[in-house]
Amino acid sequence: MTNVPAPWEFVLLALAAMRFTRLIGWDSITDPIRSRLTGHHHGSHRNQGRRVGSRHDRPEWMLFLTCPWCLGFWISVAVWLAWLGWPNATLIACTPFAINAAVGLIVKNLDA
């Protein structure tokens, strides 16, 4: 067993990590959870998919939920560690999220 996924596994894991990042950080379905965790209501503070407002009006740890680089990094680490520990189960669990990410990217680019 190597510590680096095969190319097809890498693509699947990357797409799943991208979808997890969007789901946790930006999708409206998780707004209530983010609001409860941060005490900050996100739905009315959106501007083209990015949070607006001063960094000083929210706790520093909230950057974890609002910074795509921060959140994406930690989710990617979690996905990779899951793959290291349980490669087959991780690939099976990540497949629907990877397919969803690919479909979303295709639809977004076809509708542009």
Cβ proximity of 43 and 90 under 8 Å: no
Mean of all residue pLDDT scores within the chain:
83
pLDDT for the residue 50? 47
pTM: 0.75
Q: Would you say residue 31 has pLDDT above 50?
A: yes
pLDDT tens track for 58-112: 667 777 777 888 899 999 999 999 999 999 999 999 999 999 999 999 999 988 6
Cα–Cα distance between 96 and 1 in angstroms, integer? 24
pLDDT category at 1 given cuts 50, 70, 90 is: low
**E strand residue ranges, 1-112:** 46-47, 50-51
How far the first Cα of the chain sits from its last, in Å, is: 42
